Amino acid sequence: MATLFVPTPLRRLTGGASKVEVQGDNIGALLQALDQQYPGVNERLLDGDGNVKRFINIFVNDDEIGSLQGLNTPVSDSDKVSIVPAMAGGAIV
């Protein structure tokens, strides 16, 4: 099973877990399995068309899936998958 690192805003859906083990042969399958284990996760990650929301980045090891095969990006049991929501804000000093 691949290790999926959960960002702080989604941890309330995973019972506080910062990482979970999920089975799937690609990112799309992995996200479906994650949503089956923790209902409501995909609602926060995917848009109405089933694509990753534009302010969410998903990495397989060190590579962002947008530069790979998107949701079809293959994953293996040894991969580390990170969900990283975009950050905004700040102040001009």
- Phi, psi angle pair for 54, to nearest 5°: -65, -20
Q: What pLDDT does residue 32 have?
A: 96
Structural domains present in the chain: 2-85 (3.10.20.30)
Q: For residue range 71-84, what is the model confidence (pLDDT) as tens digits?
A: 999 999 999 999 99
Helix (H) or strand (E) holding 80: strand 80-85
Calculate ∠ Cα 2-6-28, nearest 5°. 50
Percentage above 90 pLDDT, the chain: 90
d(Cα 48, Cα 24) in Å, to the nearest integer? 22
Provide the mean pLDDT of the chain. 93
pTM value surpassing 0.85: yes
Q: What pLDDT does residue 86 have?
A: 83
